[in-house]
Structure formats: C-alpha cells, structure tokens
C-alpha cells in the first residue's frame, strides 16, 4: 500500500521542482507517470525537462509516442499511462484516486502555493484521500528547504 505526498510549491516553480522529485523516484527504481490535465502544458513540461543540465539527464517521453510503454518517465494528460508506473506525479490539479494511492508505491501531488484555487483543490484532494483511508504526507518548502508538516 502506497502513500500520497503533497508538495506545496512556494519557492521554486514546478519546472524546477519536478526534475528533482523525478530523479529521487527514478533513484528508487520506479517508473513514473507525470499526470496533468492539459496536453499543451504537458508538452511545455516535456520541453523543460529536455533543457536540464547534461549531467542530470532525465530520460522521459510525452504520451502518444511509439515507445510509451518503455518510458521510465511518461508525461500524460490522461488517467492511464502506458509505462505501467509505480509512481504517479499529479500536477496542475490532475485527479488522483484512493485506489491509485493504495495500488502504487507513491502518488505525489504537486501544487502551486501562490495560486489560491490550486491550494483549495489540493486541500480537497487531501481530504478525499485521507477520508478514504489513504496514508498522506504534506511537505512545504516555505522555510527554504522541504519539511514534512503533516502526516495522516
């Protein structure tokens, strides 16, 4: 049974934080699906991931390609991911279900702390998942480094 980790982004934008978390998940040996809601936004994130420093190259693909099932990291705007992920990273308010949290090693919910609607949406996701019995942790970077602020 997995857990949901909520990351409240207040200092670094998604395009800086996501590669760090993806690197940690890959270090654990997991395949990851990065789930968003908008195909254009996922294409934008795909471009940003290719722009990283060479020494931190992160193999990944955008859903819809011929090798989706082989991708260690697959960016998708859909609920399903062809790479059979062990971890889902939900961005931009993408949906996550209690069943996914329980079936996967980890579900990460990354949300923009400067956007009141995103914060409210993440609070709703937290309540929905924890009310369903899912284990969850809330992480904040407000102090300048990531700190676990709550666990349920």
- The domain tally of the chain equals 1
* Cα–Cα distance for residue pair 134/17, rounded to 1 Å: 24
Q: Where in the sequence is the domain holding 59, given as residue range(s)? A: 3-151
The mean pLDDT of 80-86, rounded to a whole number, is 94
The stretch 23-41 carries a mean pLDDT of 96
Res. 108 pLDDT band, cuts 50 70 90: very high
CATH number at residue 12: 3.40.50.10110
Rama region for 149: left / alpha / beta (φ>0; ψ in -120 to 50; rest): alpha
Q: Which whole number is the average pLDDT over 48-65?
A: 84
pLDDT of 57: 80
Q: What is the mean pLDDT of the chain?
A: 94
Query: What's this model's pTM, rounded to 2 decimal places?
Result: 0.94
């Amino acid at each position: 049974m997995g857990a949901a980790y909520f990351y409240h982004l207040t200092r670094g934008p998604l395009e800086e934080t996501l590669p760090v978390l993806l690197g940690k998940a890959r270090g654990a040996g997991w395949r990851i699906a990065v789930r968003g809601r908008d195909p254009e936004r996922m294409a934008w994130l795909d471009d940003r991931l290719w722009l990283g420093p060479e020494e931190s190259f992160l193999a990944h693909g955008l859903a819809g390609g011929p090798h989706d099932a082989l991708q260690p990291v697959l960016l998708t705007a859909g609920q399903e991911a062809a790479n059979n992920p062990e971890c889902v990273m939900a961005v931009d308010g993408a949906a996550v279900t209690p069943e996914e949290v329980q079936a996967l090693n980890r579900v990460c919910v990354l949300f923009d702390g400067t956007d009141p609607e995103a914060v409210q949406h993440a609070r709703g996701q937290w309540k929905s998942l924890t009310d369903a019995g899912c284990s969850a942790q809330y992480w904040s970077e407000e102090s300048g480094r990531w700190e676990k602020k709550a666990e349920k």
